[in-house]
Amino acid sequence: MQTVSEQDTVSRPDGPRGKIPVLVLCDDTWHPGAMVRQGLAPLAGNEYEFRFLEDGAAWSGGLMAEFALVVLAKSNVISGSDKRPWLAVEAQTAFQDYVHSGHGLLVVHAGTAGYQELAGLRRLTGGRFVQHPELCMVDVVPRPGHPVVVGVKPFLVRDEHYFMALEDARAEVFLHSHSTHGIQPAGWTRPEGRGRVCVLTPGHTEEAWMHPMFQTLLRNALGWALAAN
């Protein structure tokens, strides 16, 4: 069983060396954990200590509670080599309780997929993945006025254009994605109890993760979600 690696050892939210430990759930059949690690590495700096968990079978609500923020960047399969679901219906309430109690949740790309049967998680995130066409050029366009898009200009990347079902009419959409296939909500935020949820749908390709504007979105989203603490 793959667990959190030594360099990513679990710790309390005050973290080593004053850094904020963030639990990153990643790696599935279609989205390798290595890409998520690469995409988040430039954001660590002196502020964050990212702890990567790639084996969904090693997840627990108790483990998650040790962190001020969780990044969900994996679909509902245990790992890239095991397609069994990692999050069961009865376990999804741990995410609801986690955020409602005052923690932050950032959902990126794959974290919206494969959870159609988990109504509680869908209510928490405010929407779900429906489908995507083949890789194509996607224009990512911010909606000015939201803190997550500060410093973000429209940008063009080759990526999967995620088509989403936005299920919370109160969610604040701050980002849209455009391609020859249409226009979709690509980023939104919503409060949940004393906590915060932020969703970003780009992120299938290295080009998307490493684009300077997406890096700015990620940095802003982490800070926004953590403001719940």
Percent of the chain exceeding pLDDT 70 equals 92
Q: Looking at the predicted structure, is the pLDDT value of residue 162 above 90?
A: yes
Return the SS3 of 83. coil
Q: How many CB atoms lie within 10 A of CB 138?
A: 27
Rounded CA separation 175/165 (Å): 15
pLDDT of amino acid 172? 98
pLDDT band at 17 (very low <50, low <70, confident <90, very high): low
Among residues 111, 78, 87, the alpha carbon closest in space to that of 225 is found at: 111
Where do the structural domains in the chain lie, given as residue ranges?
6-226
Which CATH number among 3.30.1490.20, 3.40.50.880, 3.30.70.1140, 3.80.10.10 corresponds to the domain 6-226?
3.40.50.880
Q: Looking at the predicted structure, is the pLDDT value of residue 132 above 50?
A: yes
Among residues 114, 2, 110, the alpha carbon closest in space to that of 53 is found at: 2
pLDDT band at 46 (very low <50, low <70, confident <90, very high): confident
Find the mean pLDDT for residues 203-210.
98
Task: Name the more confident of 115 and 6.
Answer: 115
pLDDT of amino acid 16? 52
pTM: 0.93
Render pLDDT for 87-99 as a digit per residue (tens, 0 to 9): 999 999 999 999 9
Rounded CA separation 92/27 (Å): 19
Q: Looking at the predicted structure, is the pLDDT value of residue 10 above 50?
A: no
Average pLDDT over the chain reads 92
Q: Looking at the predicted structure, is the pLDDT value of residue 227 above 90?
A: no
Find the mean pLDDT for residues 64-88.
96
- What six digits make up the tokens of 117? 């049967």
What does each C-alpha distance from 170 to 26, 123, 186, 198, 227 come to in angstroms? 28, 11, 15, 13, 19
Residues in the chain: 229
Indicate the burial class of 30 (C-beta count within 10 angstroms; 0-12, 13-18, 19 or more): middle
Q: Name the amino acid, one letter, at 175.
A: L
Q: Looking at the predicted structure, is the pLDDT value of residue 189 above 80?
A: yes
Q: How many CB atoms lie within 10 A of CB 69?
A: 26
pLDDT band at 7 (very low <50, low <70, confident <90, very high): very low
Q: Are 161 and 177 in contact (CB under 8 A)?
A: yes
Find the mean pLDDT for residues 11-32.
80
